[in-house]
Structure 1
């Protein structure tokens, strides 16, 4: 009799656990506050699909993460231009979803190849935790290159506007209106928005340099603040900065041109030379075999 009760007991415990889990999950979903994204960037389609799960993890787990880690992630999001798309807590939720996705896909593929391994699937899933960070890092590097490339153009606009008689605020406004689209235009527009909101211009420029943490931007902001503090000519300081950035841009292009032959060595040795030898040697080898 006792042997017959064991399966029923296990089944009852499992059903009760499932009911309690569903009840707890529904309770947590009802307690979730509605996310206000009126002042945030629109979500791309893949994120919109999984966003309820990301929000759930961010609210119930992400808010309990260490403050130091959250500030570090917030700085990385600022530098990559994603601070108006998601918060550090939501990024953690996206990482957890990425772990589950990588684990499920790797497990299905390994099972289809008759090489199922829970440890390997778990290792691939843990790599999924780093995937959002790697994507943010690539976006940050690409964005920084774009900003440095466009800086000399915007400095020319600002310098001409200042030398024409405008103050620095008016020169920044003219540069934003006339300059090319890109990450630097968005950042300068954010500086002007901070100034219009009541922030001191010096503080807005310091915040601009702190967000990007680029040597070129930090040098420019330091020169502008020093010129305002000492009463020096802002136009002259901007002219010096514009010439310096133009020289550095030429030096970067020259460096990349000199590095091109070195970077071509591996493709030549690994792909082009063997293919050339095969094309040239195949008729010779066939003729030699025919003669023998």
Structure 2
């Protein structure tokens, strides 16, 4: 029981620390903008590199360089294809806080080492009647769990981001259709979507527009946007837009068709979830609700039976 409690505490602390480290970038104020605003409001001017260094928060001066060093060490033990997959997953997750693959792998190794060191310390000072072989096994198991927790959190963030894009696409396509039919270009319509909403789809549209403004071809920027989101709906939408541009088909008609298809897909997905709900509810009901009901119904009868003459016969 003691090791279960210790393991639960270790996992909870590790998850909290990793969640704090992978917090959304939109929830964090840009430190550069914050410092510049502070200096402008106070009329101060940075005159030396030392002032620039000291003006940065302690996380950027100490923790991030340490994480980069750990990441460089982790790179020696990480295959190149694993790094490429990690970079792609970080893009699918929306590149939270500008995280680099090296920082992510440093987080994984750091979590495993921290969990192992904490358990080793607990086993060293606690009076647990276990052999060191058993203790070492528990350390390895929980270190492996700590190693895979960042991967699970990243996958969870990817799923949340993709679900958010799926939910926003039908309304965004309606707005695109209205803007194009009103006479705006497709780029201006995308800019309207990026200005109107603050969600993952709007951020993706804004990033694609910035790439187009920097000289990237529209079709390449749209393809890159679809790869960064990684859902079939966005890939189909981008393919239809590129095909319309190449063939000279009316953009408003293509957008109207895509909008109708997105709404049909969203309705079908809702119907699918509604059909799966009874099956998903079966196991909690069978394991939690039904035993409680049986206990409530049969407990009085069992008590009466035990206090009756028949119960006295079996004592």
TM-score range, shorter chain: 0.7 to 0.9
Q: CA deviation at 1:84?
A: 4.6
d(CA) in 1 for partners of 2:117, 2:78: 26
- In structure 2, the residue matched to 1:56 is 69
The aligned counterpart of 1:168 is 186
Q: Offset at 1:259?
A: 0.9
Mapped to 1, the partners of 2:270 and 2:62 lie a distance apart of 42
Per-residue CA deviations over 1:106-133 (Å, capped at 9, x if unaligned) read 3345553443512321232133222211
Change (3 A) 1:46 1:290: farther
Q: Is residue 2:217 matched to residue 1:200?
A: yes
Distance 1:110 1:45, change over 3 A: farther
Contact 2:162–2:230 at 8 Å: present in 1 too? no
Task: Name the counterpart of 2:161.
Answer: 143
For 2:289 and 2:213, locate their aligned partners in 1 and report how far apart those are by CA, in whole Å.
Answer: 58
Higher relative contact order at CA 8 Å, sep ≥6: structure 1 or structure 2? 2
For residues 44-89 of structure 1, give each alpha carbon's deviation from its aligned partner in whole angstroms, at most 9, with x where no partner exists: 9999984343122124553785433322211010001126521111
Asked if 2 retains the 8 angstrom alpha-carbon contact of 1:62 and 1:90, the reply is no
Q: Does 2:272 correspond to 1:255? A: yes
Distance in 1 separating the partners of 2:217 and 2:287: 58
Counterparts of 1:146 and 1:51, CA distance in 2: 30
Q: How do residues 1-292 of structure 1 correspond to structure 2 at under 5 angstroms?
A: 50-62=63-75, 65-82=78-95, 84-110=97-123, 112=126, 113-115=128-130, 117-179=135-197, 181-292=198-309
Q: Provide the residue aligned with 1:3 in structure 2.
A: none
**Is 113-122 or 202-211 further displaced after alignment?**
113-122
Pair 1:110–1:60, CA change in 2 (3 A): closer
Unpaired runs of 5+ residues, structure 2, are: 1-30, 34-56, 310-315
Distance in 1 (alpha carbons) for counterparts of 2:281 and 2:204: 36
Between Structure 1 and Structure 2, how many residues are aligned?
251
The 3 A distance-change label for structure 1 pair 67 and 232 is same
- Give the alignment's TM-score, normalised by structure 2: 0.73
Q: Which residues of structure 1 form unaligned runs of 5+?
A: 1-36
Q: What displacement does 1:233 show? A: 0.6
Shift of the 123–50 alpha-carbon distance from structure 1 to 2, 3 Å rule, reads farther
- Note the C-alpha offset of 1:134: 1.3
- TM, length-normalised to structure 1: 0.78
Higher mean C-alpha deviation, range 225-234 or range 92-101: 92-101
Does the Cα contact within 8 Å between 1:155 and 1:238 map onto a contact in 2? yes
User: How far apart, in 2, do the equivalents of 1:46 and 1:139 lie?
Assistant: 23
Equivalents in 1 of 2:61, 2:231: separation in Å? 32
Deviation at residue 153 of structure 1 after TM alignment: 1.1
